[in-house]
Amino acid sequence: MASQTPRAERFRARNVICTLAALALVLATGWAAFELTLASAIAGSSEQADRRLALFDRTLEAMIERFHYLPATIAQADESQGVLERPDAPAVRTSANGFLSKLNETAGADELFVMDSRGSVAAASNWWTLDSLVGQDFSFRPYFAEAMAEGSTKYYAFGIATSVPGYFLSQRIEGPDGPLGVAVAKINLGEIEANWWRSGELIGIVDVNNVVILSTRPDWRYRPLLEIDSTLVAHTASQQRYGDNGIRNEGIVRDFWPSRGAEMAFLHSGDPETDGYFLYSELRLPTHGWRIASFTPMGPLFRDAWTAAAAAALGCAALVLIVVLLVQRRRILAQRLAEHERLEQRVAERTEDLHTTNEQLRAEIAERVRAESDSRDAQTSLVQAAKLASLGQALAGVAHEVSQPVAALSTHIASAKLLAAQRNDREIGGILLTMDKVLDRISSLTGHLRDFSRKQTQVEMSCDLSPAISNGLDMVDHKLKRFGVDVHYARHRGALIVPANPVHLEQVLINLLSNAADAMEHTPIRLLSIAVVAQGSRVDISVSDTGEGIAPADIPNIFDPFYTTKQAGRGLGLGLAISYGLVRDIGGTIAVVSRPGRGSIFTIRLPLVVAAANINEVRA
């Protein structure tokens, strides 16, 4: 008994050490999982915040760029120089006020006004309102003094007369004997602030004084990120840059510090949405002297990290328990093998158990192989989906960028139409009217691209097939004429109304007509046929060509995204894929029949809302 006591004590001590080591291993695994998950989440959130800030920057710059030409236009106008050279002439002042009002009706700025060399407003676009700027003295505003000294300046401030904040763009007005005054355009950035608020982001624009001037949180406006010096508060109050109340010198952020490769911030305001720890990101706008600041809550990141830590710790604990069970099982087997009389029976039983286990392992291995194959297939699908999402974002960006020059071009065409009307030049007026229609078409298409790039609620619409087909032919008419394609259009006599968005249906038709023209580019016979056949509650639209046709091996993939039979650089392989989706959303179908060397026939079948009677074939 005395010899067995030390052995038992050693056994117990070994068990305690193993238990403590296992516990330490579980805790270390959980902590490592927490740190890795949190660091990865912070890095991902930082990259996402940087991308969002870059997008917000482009949106802000595009909005300001829309109005940058206004101060120079006002400064060069005869009306502006006239009112400064003859301020006591009522007719001249009336002419300048009218010019600024009409210009602002087209431009859409908040206010336009002209200041004389003393800083007094001589003419303004809101001269007729109760809060007119005419006669106001803004000589203490920096945008006046800096423009007089440097030629031009940009300045964000609270509107004194209108009580509306805005971004002031000013330009010095030159006279024969020196500066006459300053032309100013005030831009209201409330629209972009509203768009940011709808995005659900916690962001703000910080000016050179470290004061928030625009934010998705109204209670942050005109407050510094961190409490600033009282002398700066008094200096800005003299300029009335932040309104009558000036800066509310209560810091939004209690503290900043670096952590895990990112900048952290602690906010405490009594509001659950802006209380706690946040990931801080910013983007500098050197042109304006601003910064766009973004705050991402750390709560969800911590929760995900703790979840990962708990899962890793439980997994590690399970592995330790399996090891313990295996050791215990081995000990029991050793004890059983010591029994010589039951050795053969137990060996047989164990052999059978091992055989069963091997079969299960084979089944598990086969299942694991199948699971890995499914995982690779899913990953391939996700990569393709990411490509489509990136392309959708690019298309939305292109549509957004195109809308700005289209708006500027619309303004110039409107001005040209006014000049043509004043000169009674009907020929130029007709040309401008045609250009205006084309510009409306471009605006409609870019609007469709923007609508297509974001999620929208379904709105029921309907359209007549005949105008849609005619518009589609008009859009590809230049290509048909260039390739020498003859068009045979079997037009329906009455109205055929289908439940579709006219722009979507025209887009489908344009894709089919353009593809047909491309297919006949090098064929000796070039005939494009369009047939419309109404049968009961549906209508079939057939577009056939005499082109090169489609190979049988390509037809099963013809409606897949990024699949194209054209030469490199002639297409992305998205036209038929988008058309297929649009027709399917309408409730219709699209099919193709093709014979290589003899042409193809694409047939669109759509449900009818209103059906007409007869078909009249007309040569186009």
Instruction: Give the Cα separation of 377 and 385 in Å (integer).
Output: 12
CB-CB contact of 197 with 220 (8 Å): no
Instruction: Give the Cα separation of 535 and 341 in Å (integer).
Output: 90
Instruction: Give the Cα separation of 385 and 368 in Å (integer).
Output: 25
CB-CB contact of 249 with 212 (8 Å): no
CB-CB contact of 203 with 295 (8 Å): yes
CB contact burial 322-358 (16+ within 10 A = b; e otherwise)? eeeeeeeeeeeeeeeeeeeeeeeeeeeeeeeeeeeee
Q: Which of 402, 437, 433, 410 is nearest to 108 (CA)?
A: 410
Both tokens of 540, joined, read: 């079939």
- Helices and strands (H, E) in the chain, number of each type: 14, 19
Strands (E), 188-303: 203-206, 212-215, 253-259, 262-267, 276-285, 290-297
Confidence at residue 1, expressed as pLDDT on a 0 to 100 scale = 47
Q: How many CB atoms lie within 10 A of CB 535?
A: 10
| Widest Cα–Cα separation across the chain | 128
Confidence at residue 114, expressed as pLDDT on a 0 to 100 scale = 94
Confidence at residue 112, expressed as pLDDT on a 0 to 100 scale = 93
- Reported residue count of the chain is 620
Confidence at residue 342, expressed as pLDDT on a 0 to 100 scale = 74
Instruction: Give the Cα separation of 309 and 259 in Å (integer).
Output: 19
Both tokens of 448, joined, read: 């469709």
Q: Which of 214, 292, 275, 238 is nearest to 58 (CA)?
A: 292
What is the model's pTM? 0.47
Confidence at residue 378, expressed as pLDDT on a 0 to 100 scale = 54
Question: Rg of the chain over CA atoms, in angstroms?
Answer: 37
- Residue the block writes with tokens 């830590």: 309
What is the arrangement of strands in the sheet containing 538-544, beginning at the earlier edge strand? 589-595, 599-607, 538-544, 527-535, 486-492, 615-619
- What is the pairing mode between strands 538-544 and 497-498? unpaired
Map residue 609 onto helix, strand or coil.
Answer: coil
Helix axes 78-85, 90-107, angle to 10 degrees: 150
For CA atoms 400, 125, 138, 235, the dihedral sign is negative
pLDDT tens figures, 124-180: 998 888 888 888 888 888 889 889 999 899 888 877 777 788 889 999 999 888 899
Residues of the chain short of pLDDT 70, as ranges, are: 1-4, 244, 340, 374-393, 395-396, 399-400, 441, 444-445, 447-459, 563, 565, 567-573, 610-620
CB-CB contact of 474 with 512 (8 Å): no
Instruction: Give the Cα separation of 509 and 574 in Å (integer).
Output: 14
Map residue 120 onto helix, strand or coil.
Answer: strand
CB-CB contact of 112 with 70 (8 Å): yes
Confidence at residue 620, expressed as pLDDT on a 0 to 100 scale = 37
First and final C-alpha spacing in the chain: 114
Confidence at residue 173, expressed as pLDDT on a 0 to 100 scale = 92
Confidence at residue 418, expressed as pLDDT on a 0 to 100 scale = 82
Map residue 323 onto helix, strand or coil.
Answer: helix
Confidence at residue 190, expressed as pLDDT on a 0 to 100 scale = 77
Instruction: Give the Cα separation of 168 and 154 in Å (integer).
Output: 6
